[in-house]
Copies of this chain bind each other. A is one copy, B any other.
């Protein structure tokens, strides 16, 4: 069905991924294209099964489905080694190859990744295909592609200055925002998220809140300022604790908010409310029951809580590249898995809201700001880093758009808290 032909793309769709291969020092011509190469690329292309994607090889040869229809993106494989390495483990190697510039994407990067997410059989089929290749072809796989070992800094070593470039400056929320109206700015939507969480928790002045994993401390400051509660927030990131404490001090909230540099498992004291926004992804599924035990230990008899986490429709491993290069140890649970936090301790789950569409929009806003500041990022780190984080943000958009990832907010309480609101209407008033 597909044939080799040239396709013109409008410049307007090439905003993302425009960092050219030349800039990364990777040549556009890496030897002639053999018939075996062409056969492999056709198999690959057929698996993706989407005419809006075009493939281009290192010699300029192009593979696309037809003349009709609009191209969303063009994937450019800049050397033969990249092609064969990709086939060995597409989930893992695409990220490294893209970061190194050995594979490039012109057009809409997130949309191209969505096509890959929607072809769930592709990864395993490609790996099978690769295993059946003649040894001589498999042997072409480079053991060490230039740049692929480049050590991408892990999230929390990177420093506050990097995140300040693309998160909302006021609350520095590195978690899903909430868009009660879809034309909100990121800053507005992050405030709306904080407000949404506070309303769900029905905070009363003078109550005590404990927070597990507080990032840069924005939620605690919001709760203290707008709801008159006392908050103690735990976090193991030294940089974030320093930042959060300084902000609270500067804003006159030091008497109400305490940031503790410690693991959530060491939470002490008893509180009216437990809250954790975007930490569960790092807890690990074997530890959910234990985490529930921490909640049970620190929650008063009238207690309630909220856990906000990336999740899944069903259990699945983390994308290999993200897990290896961006979030080591991260695991987004299914709802069934999350229930290990609540059920052994008899908590009542009162409300589960899936905000996956809000995370897509949040990520679009982050990516937009990130691209706007790509030169800053490159000056702070390097081109590989810029490309890796671009891929991570665009890939996350694709994951939320295609349903590979979800965002669950779970509100819970001690059983028989019969004084809580009967309906959720209070979340939606002025």
B residues in contact with A350, CB < 8 Å: 354
Query: How many angstroms from the CA of A349 to the CA of B352 in the assembled complex?
Result: 9
Contacts known (A349-B352, A350-B354, A403-B416); A422 close to B335, Cβ less than 8 A: no
Pick the contact of A348 from B348, B349, B403 — CB < 8 Å?
B403
A351 interface residue (CB < 8 Å to B): yes
Contacts known (A403-B415, A422-B179); A354 close to B357, Cβ less than 8 A: no
A418 interface residue (CB < 8 Å to B): yes
Closest CB of chain B to A416's CB: distance in Å? 4
Which A residues from 148 to 207 make CB contacts under 8 A with B? 178-180, 182
A267 interface residue (CB < 8 Å to B): no
Pick the contact of A182 from B340, B415, B422 — CB < 8 Å?
B422
Interface contact A425-B428, CB-CB below 8 Å: yes
Query: How many angstroms from the CA of A336 to the CA of B182 in the assembled complex?
Result: 32
Which A residues from 383 to 413 make CB contacts under 8 A with B? 401-403, 406, 408
The copy count of this chain in the complex is: 2
Interface contact A402-B416, CB-CB below 8 Å: yes
B residues in contact with A427, CB < 8 Å: 424
Interface contact A180-B343, CB-CB below 8 Å: no
Query: How many angstroms from the CA of A427 to the CA of B427 in the assembled complex?
Result: 11
Query: How many angstroms from the CA of A406 to the CA of B422 in the assembled complex?
Result: 13
Contacts known (A356-B348, A357-B422, A358-B422); A343 close to B339, Cβ less than 8 A: no
Query: How many angstroms from the CA of A401 to the CA of B390 in the assembled complex?
Result: 51
Query: How many angstroms from the CA of A239 to the CA of B239 in the assembled complex?
Result: 69
A423 interface residue (CB < 8 Å to B): yes
SS class, residues of chain A in contact with chain B: mixed
Contacts known (A422-B179, A422-B182); A313 close to B357, Cβ less than 8 A: no
Interface contact A347-B424, CB-CB below 8 Å: no
Pick the contact of A313 from B314, B342, B358, B360 — CB < 8 Å?
B342
Query: How many angstroms from the CA of A343 to the CA of B423 in the assembled complex?
Result: 27
B residues in contact with A339, CB < 8 Å: 334-336, 339
A315 interface residue (CB < 8 Å to B): yes
Contacts known (A336-B336, A339-B335, A348-B354); A401 close to B418, Cβ less than 8 A: yes
B residues in contact with A358, CB < 8 Å: 422
Q: Give the residue among A315, A343, A360, A402 with the most B Cβ atoms within 10 A.
A: A343
A18 interface residue (CB < 8 Å to B): no
Query: How many angstroms from the CA of A406 to the CA of B351 in the assembled complex?
Result: 12
Which A residues from 313 to 369 make CB contacts under 8 A with B? 313-315, 334-336, 339-340, 342-344, 346-354, 356-358, 360
Closest CB of chain B to A342's CB: distance in Å? 7
Q: Give the residue among A178, A360, A423 with the most B Cβ atoms within 10 A.
A: A423
Instruction: Give A182's nearest chain B residue, CB to CB.
Output: B422
Closest CB of chain B to A347's CB: distance in Å? 6
Interface contact A415-B313, CB-CB below 8 Å: yes
Query: How many angstroms from the CA of A356 to the CA of B416 in the assembled complex?
Result: 9
Instruction: Give A425's nearest chain B residue, CB to CB.
Output: B428
Interface contact A315-B343, CB-CB below 8 Å: yes
Closest CB of chain B to A13's CB: distance in Å? 20
B residues in contact with A313, CB < 8 Å: 342-343, 346-349, 415
B residues in contact with A336, CB < 8 Å: 336, 339-340, 343
Closest CB of chain B to A50's CB: distance in Å? 15
For the complex of A and B, the 5 pairs showing the least CB-CB separation, nearest first, are A403-B415, A336-B339, A352-B352, A403-B416, A314-B343
- Please list 13 pairs of residues, one from A and one from B, whose beta carbons are closer than 8 Å in the complex, sorted by A's number: A180-B422, A313-B342, A313-B349, A314-B343, A315-B343, A334-B343, A335-B343, A351-B354, A360-B418, A401-B416, A401-B418, A424-B427, A425-B428
Q: Known A-B contacts: A179-B422, A334-B339. Give 12 more (CB < 8 A).
A: A180-B423, A313-B342, A313-B343, A314-B344, A335-B342, A336-B339, A339-B339, A348-B406, A349-B406, A351-B353, A357-B418, A423-B428
